[in-house]
Amino acid sequence: MEKTKTMLVAGLVAFATFLWLLPSVGKAQAPSVPLPPNDSASSEAPDVTRRVNCDAGETIQQAVDNSNNGDTVLVSGTCDENVTVGDGRTRVTLDGQGTATINGPDAGVDTVDIRGRGITIRGFTISGGRDGIRIFRGGTAAAIDGNSIQGTGRNGVNVFRSSSASITNNTIQNLITGITLNESGTASISNNTIQNITGRGIQLNNGSSASITSTIVQNAGSDGISFTSSNGTVDLCSIQTNAVNGIVIQVSGGVSITRSTISGNGQRGIQVGIGGSARIGTNSSQTNGNIISGNQNDGVNIGNATAFLGGNTISNNGRYGVGLNMATASLFGGNTITNNATSGITAQASGVILGDPGASPNTNTISGNGVAPIPGSGIAGGIYLLSGTTLTARNATISGNTGNGLTVQSRSVANFFSPSTVDNNTGDGIQLTLGGALVSASNVTASGNGGFGLQCTDGESSFQGSTAGISGNTAGDVSVTCTGF
Cβ count within 10 A of residue 78: 12
Rounded to whole angstroms, the Cα distance separating 400 from 334 reads 18
What percent of the chain lies above the pLDDT cut of 70? 91
| pLDDT value at 32 more than 90 | no
DSSP 8-state secondary structure symbol assigned to residue 221: S
Q: DSSP letters along 353-386, please?
A: EES-TTSSS--EEEES--SSPPTTT---EEEEEE
At 78 the pLDDT is 98
* Number of other CB atoms surrounding residue 93 within 10 Å: 20
Report the distance separating Cα 161 and Cα 165, nearest Å: 12
Residue 14 confidence (pLDDT) = 45
pLDDT higher than 50, residue 285? yes
Does the structure show a pLDDT above 80 at 62?
A: yes
pLDDT band at 378 (very low <50, low <70, confident <90, very high): confident
CA 385 to chain centre: 29
Mean pLDDT score, 382-405: 97
Is 313 a residue whose pLDDT tops 60?
A: yes
Residue type, 210: A
Q: What is the pLDDT of residue 317?
A: 98
Q: How far apart are CA 425 and CA 473, in angstroms?
A: 10
**Secondary structure of residue 130 in the 3-state scheme:** coil
Position 27 pLDDT exceeds 60: no
pLDDT score recorded for residue 19: 39
- 34 pLDDT higher than 50: yes
For the structural domain made of 32-222, what CATH number should be given?
2.160.20
Q: What's the rounded mean pLDDT across residues 426-434?
A: 97
Classify burial at 413, counting beta carbons within 10 Å of its beta carbon; exposed 0-12, middle 13-18, buried 19 or more: middle
pLDDT tens readout for residues 297-312 = 999 999 999 999 999 9
Q: Domain residue spans in the chain?
A: 32-222
Distance CA 148, CA 165 (A): 16
pLDDT, position 45: 65
Length of the chain: 485
How many angstroms separate the CA atoms of 387 and 407, rounded?
12
Alpha carbons 385 and 322: distance in angstroms, whole number: 12
> What pLDDT does residue 386 have?
96
User: Mean pLDDT, to the nearest integer, of 36-43?
Assistant: 69
Answer for the pair 133, 178: CB distance below 8 angstroms, yes or no. Answer: no
How far is it, in rounded angstroms, from Cα 232 to Cα 184?
Answer: 12
Cβ atoms of 485 and 463 within 8 Å: the answer is yes
Q: In the structure, what pLDDT confidence band is assigned to residue 326 with cuts at 50, 70 and 90?
A: very high
Query: Residue 43 — pLDDT band, cuts 50, 70, 90?
Result: low
| CA gap 69, 89 in Å, rounded | 6
pLDDT of amino acid 449 = 98
pLDDT (0 to 100) of residue 33: 67
3-state secondary structure labels for all residues of 261-314: EEECCCCCCEEEECCCEEEEECCCCHHHCCEEECCCCCCEEEECCEEEEECCEE
State the pTM of this model. Answer: 0.92
Cα 441 from chain centre: 40
Residues 6+ apart with CB under 8 A from 344: 320, 321, 322, 337, 338, 366, 367, 369, 370, 381, 382, 383, 398, 401
278's CB contacts (< 8 A; 6+ apart) are 249, 255, 256, 257, 270, 272, 305, 306, 307, 308
Percent above pLDDT 90 for the chain: 83
Burial class (CB in 10 A: 0-12, 13-18, 19+), 146: middle
pLDDT digits (tens, 9 = 90+) for 181-196: 999 999 999 999 999 9
**What span, in angstroms and rounded, lies between the C-alpha atoms of 187 and 183?**
12
pLDDT surpasses 70 at 485: no
Residue in 471, 468, 469, 465 with CA at minimum distance from that of residue 485: 465
Nearest to 321 by CA among 251, 384, 247: 384
| Residues 353/385, Cβ–Cβ less than 8 Å | no
